Structure 1
């Protein structure tokens, strides 16, 4: 039971899906937060808390901040509503359904001086923070390239009878996290080239592909992804952060530099000189989380509401979305070209 003594932030959660309910539970357990309730038009969602059909119904309740966990295409509208009510906000990723919506929301927040945080929660992993610091300190020299792999088979039921049936591309659902991870640890992404794989489920949905990237600092990288292939490689499987995905603790990202290399999340650090001498492992203890990333993110949201600089606000998250949109557009174009060629 959370300790409600002292100053607490009153939080309204908007959206009662899987992640929304996880936010409800996190707010309830946090000693610096009090749950105002859940806003969702589906009143059959059974939780022991005040229920609202829509955000505006909670106007009379004292609210300090709102967590927006609704479908992505509603994020910008709900963010604008919260800003109009004077509520600071934590918005789930992706920050908005389109780049234009995200940019409009960023401008609204700037004008209203409402503080924001975006739910790219991987930034709160202690090991991710450690990786970013090691790279910045030059532990492997100047970064040369990075290879990232995300491959798992989503159950067929994941796509049945919901918005994912037609629009369940893993780019916006999953890879947007990996893109943000690369931006956070390696640097800003300057260019992307994407290749689409062949769909295996008999739909027009993007299911797999490969992406080449260049970074503003001169490094290059690749991402290979598939939601049709069971494998031990992917951030969720590697770190065990998602209770719905089996944990394997296998590395899923490999980074090389002019002075060595490091794999993640094992944080296996290699150092070397040239190919005449084998690279040697340098002992390194991976940093351990003292709280789950969702809990750490909520703690930070409380700090942001009090004026702290956000780890990633709407304006910053818009840059992650811009890269994801470029990738999605290229994959979609290739996918349609291939389909039309096969049907000709």
Structure 2
């Protein structure tokens, strides 16, 4: 039984707490959160990470991104293996520093891009790598939700709560996982609905090292049925729609996700592609991730996504965030740093 400490008991942290409580191979060693109202009295509760005085095998860091680096360094110093929520850190430099701290302490780290554990994601990757649609050519992905107004009552979300860093980071990781490394990025951003100090919607164009191109259209101001969480029903806080939100076309066909509808059989536009429904497996990704983390703690297996891999997702995400924020500033006539102009 591995002893798991959950650091942060907010939206995602509370789900980690529940998963740890229900898992047969671990138990909840304690919860750390600055808000005492988040204690339910059933596990040791600490308002400060430095106050933790229980035995811990692994820590799940589910706090705001800006805390991941210092809290990760603290966990490494205490010899606790880590599952760090995405994004792994605020900057790529912080991610590299964290990797060095973990290596010096011989601590194993897993990063919480939990969608990689979704069976349909793995099936989609198999479709692409098997050549079932030929060489991938285009990818179109939509993430479009309307976050409730009280979501932004938390002060840090009013300025740092961009859906790029909070939400699209997952989709960017999926794009890398399925289609390969991202080489080029361009796009536009806007903040014209809530008029906050952050990117709230936009469009991004990507090129992958394979030569395939893709687009992401996103917004956190639009109630729609298109987005990973709504499509897969994997987040209890977001209503299910069951609608596809990702389409990939190749030289021999196409596939949509998460329905895994495979379109093949046409040689050119004179023929109509025929659909086939691939079997869709089911699992709870957060639970599968925890199961894997327990194996990582035990040294039985390597992390599916380690700090180096997660840093590449973070790098692409930061480039998109900077590019779109610069676009907004340019349209408002503000000064734009040179690094954000390309």
Name the structure 2 match of 1:3: none
Check if 1:52 corresponds to 2:66: no
Check if 1:297 corresponds to 2:309: no
Deviations 1:70-120 (A, max 9, x none): 110010111111111111000011100111111111122223221111111
How far apart are residue 56 of structure 1 and its match?
2.9
Check if 1:287 corresponds to 2:281: yes
The one of 181, 186, 191 aligned to 1:188: 181
Check if 1:178 corresponds to 2:166: no
Alpha-carbon spacing, 1:28–1:283, altered in 2? closer, same or farther (3 Å): closer
Distance 1:14 1:288 in 2: 28
How far apart are residue 14 of structure 1 and its match?
0.8
How far apart are residue 282 of structure 1 and its match?
2.7
Name the structure 1 match of 2:241: 248
Name the structure 1 match of 2:338: none
Distance 1:161 1:19 in 2: 15
Name the structure 2 match of 1:68: 61
Q: TM-score scaled to structure 2, two decimals?
A: 0.94
Alignment of 1:1-344 (within 5 A): 8-47=1-40, 48-58=42-52, 60-271=53-264, 272-289=266-283, 292-307=284-299, 308-340=301-333
Distance 1:11 1:284 in 2: 37
Task: Tell me the number of residue pairs that the alignment of Structure 1 and Structure 2 aligns.
Answer: 331
Q: TM-score scaled to structure 1, two decimals?
A: 0.93
Please list every run of 5 or more consecutive structure 2 residues that lacks an aligned counterpart in the other structure. 335-342
Contact 1:199 1:205 in 2 (8 A): no
How far apart are residue 299 of structure 1 and its match?
0.1
How far apart are residue 300 of structure 1 and its match?
0.3
How far apart are residue 155 of structure 1 and its match?
1.3
How far apart are residue 198 of structure 1 and its match?
4.7
Contact 1:140 1:262 in 2 (8 A): yes
Deviations 1:231-256 (A, max 9, x none): 11000110111111111000000000
Distance 1:188 1:161 in 2: 34
Contact 2:158 2:197 in 1 (8 A): no
Please list every run of 5 or more consecutive structure 1 residues that lacks an aligned counterpart in the other structure. 1-7
Which structure 1 residue ranges, 4+ long, deviate > 6 Å from structure 2? none
Distance 2:221 2:277 in 1: 36
